[in-house]
Chain A
Amino acid sequence: MSKLKLNLGPQHPSTHGVLRLILELDGEKIISCEPDVGYLHRGMEKMAEKLTYIQYLPLVDRIDYLAGFFYSELLCRTVEKAFEIELSPRVKAIRVLLLELNRIASHLLWIGAFLMDLGAVSPFFYAFREREIILQYFEKISGQRMMNNYFVFGGVRRDIGYLEDVENFLKILPDKVNDYEKLITENPIFLQRTKGKGVLDKKTAFNFAITGVNLRASGVSLDFRKGDYLYKDFEFTPVVLEEGDSWARYKARIMEIRESAKIAAQALEILKRENNLEQTLINPLTLKLPEGEYFQEIEAPRGLASIYVKSTGDSKPYRLKWRTGSYYSVNLLRKILKGAYLNDAIAISGSLDIILPEVDK
């Protein structure tokens, strides 16, 4: 038996950025997989120690460029909880609306990129068409397409507008998602490449600290939005599927897009009702976080995201740590790819929705 070591990445069209996998092969079968990350390590955590909170806030969007709002929200939430600021219903609704739109955009990109990994090019164009609508809306309200920097300590940068855009988008979205499903879900080639591939059982998922959609596709109903103070007044059901394979992870994301659209519609209702933007903004120039340790977490599109801040009462944090979902998904590859075939490697790693800036920070 001869073994072959194969290097995949860091420049590979299907590794979603700069992931490098060192695979050991026996013929077509993968014996072991060793992920090598760090090609995009920008030192976000060290940078926090050198910058004040308001200087650091715009950088936070770059941790996950597909879902920047979630990380802004975490940093803002840390400061708000430290000063015990209660957000008004309108601010809460704005945040929920934008977070959910961001989640939809992120999942749409994933559908496009994942299907492209499998060799189907057309879903990419469909998904990006809808994603562009969301990005253009973000640009209208915040001036930037992806790095929005829209949430500030104690509220939002300016009042939200152009609600009819969101309304129109939410009206057409279910039909568009139906279109994707017609195109993809029952497609025999797609089924063959994803059904029963990369099966993740509940125990392994716990052991590897997998959270988010990947965990819910393995039959665990664990959604950190339940119990999150922002989502208290919103009704939704976490998407749970039993199979745990690549197909289930795809289906769960499709279902989650629909669920997110429902939450966004509820937020829209609140925004129409509550017209006054009341917010207690914190002056960022004199902001000094009281001494202590702060933990906050939120359900991001790629799993649980959390922040840890240790402050010594200075204007800069003493230590700031991010927990991101993708980092643990990359670690899972060493287990889930073992025994799979080389031609499934990309399909399986793509289905976990790994995004590299989140891994490398």
Chain B
Amino acid sequence: MNIILTSIDYILNQSRANSLWPLTFATSCCGIEMMQTVASNNDIARFGSEVFRGSPRQADLLICAGTITHKMAPVLLRLYEQMAEPKYVIAMGACTCGGGMFTETSYSVIKGIDKIIPVDIYLPMCPPKPESLIDAIRKLQKEIGKESVLKRKEFLNKHTQRLTESCGMLTDEINVTKLGVL
């Protein structure tokens, strides 16, 4: 039984890990380095992640590239909710990891997107070089390789729990639908 499950896991994980479709979610500086990662010299296609999607419904990796402000926070949550399972998040850049340069003095920057959505890989630096983004994607692929079908449910529950914990404040105090599409 275990042998069969392990091989199913292997096939699933291999397919998931090697065809990650990222969402084009570029809010600021890191977005340009993300574009550079797609472009000629760093060619992200070598690692199966070149299919950038405009719609969150078709994507399974959210590379949050750039500062998230209080005005943007509901949008980020909404995009995350719209993505289909299994979904993964890379927090790209210092701003998304913990506020970065804006931590102490800015009134409108959120200090880390993990206050809103669960994050799988943190990638600091301001902004990270394209090589670092590729490295982050490779690390995520390794993490995905460790997943198991049996543990998937557990993992999802944990995710949902983290999500409700971290954006409890958001859903309570802001009417997400009001701030979203008209």
Assuming the A-B contacts A11-B25, A125-B40, are A42 and B108 also in contact, with contact meaning beta carbons closer than 8 angstroms in the complex?
Answer: yes
Chain A contacts to B: CB under 8 angstroms: 5, 7, 10-13, 17-18, 22, 38-43, 46-47, 50-51, 58-59, 62, 65-66, 109, 112-113, 124-126, 128-129, 131-132, 135, 145-147, 356-357
Q: How far is the CA of A147 from the CA of B108 in the complex (A)?
A: 21
The listed residue with most B CB atoms (<10 A of its CB), out of A5, A12, A18, A38, is A18
Chain B contacts to A: CB under 8 angstroms: 24-29, 31-33, 35-36, 39-41, 52, 54, 56, 66-67, 69, 71-72, 75, 79, 101-102, 104-109, 126-127, 129, 181-182
Contact B31 A17 (CB under 8 A): yes
The listed residue with most A CB atoms (<10 A of its CB), out of B25, B29, B101, B108, is B29
Chain A residues with CB under 8 Å of B66's CB are: 17, 40
Chain B residues with CB under 8 Å of A109's CB are: 32, 35
Partner of A17, one of B28, B33, B54, B71: B28
Contact B109 A62 (CB under 8 A): no
Considering the complex of A and B, which 3 residue pairs feature the smallest CB-CB distances, nearest first?
Answer: A128-B39, A13-B54, A65-B29
Contact B75 A11 (CB under 8 A): yes
Q: Tell me how far the C-beta of B174 lies from the nearest C-beta in chain A, rounded to whole angstroms.
A: 14
Assuming the A-B contacts A39-B71, A40-B66, are A147 and B29 also in contact, with contact meaning beta carbons closer than 8 angstroms in the complex?
Answer: yes
Chain A residues with CB under 8 Å of B79's CB are: 11
Question: Can you show 10 pairs from A to B with CB atoms below 8 A apart?
Answer: A10-B72, A17-B31, A39-B27, A43-B109, A62-B29, A65-B28, A128-B35, A128-B39, A132-B41, A357-B29
Q: How far is the CA of A18 from the CA of B32 in the complex (A)?
A: 13
Q: Tell me how far the C-beta of B117 lies from the nearest C-beta in chain A, rounded to whole angstroms.
A: 14
Q: How far is the CA of A113 from the CA of B108 in the complex (A)?
A: 28
Dominant secondary structure of chain B at its interface with chain A: loop
Assuming the A-B contacts A43-B106, A47-B105, A125-B39, are A147 and B126 also in contact, with contact meaning beta carbons closer than 8 angstroms in the complex?
Answer: yes
Partner of B101, one of A7, A59, A112: A59
Q: Tell me how far the C-beta of B87 lies from the nearest C-beta in chain A, rounded to whole angstroms.
A: 15
Q: How far is the CA of A341 from the CA of B41 in the complex (A)?
A: 36
Contact A39 B39 (CB under 8 A): no
Chain B residues with CB under 8 Å of A13's CB are: 24, 52, 54
Q: How far is the CA of A132 from the CA of B38 in the complex (A)?
A: 12
Closest to B127 in A: A146
Partner of A42, one of B54, B56, B106: B106
Q: Tell me how far the C-beta of A349 lies from the nearest C-beta in chain B, rounded to whole angstroms.
A: 16
Chain A residues with CB under 8 Å of B182's CB are: 5, 7, 22
Q: How far is the CA of A46 from the CA of B108 in the complex (A)?
A: 10
Contact B32 A65 (CB under 8 A): yes
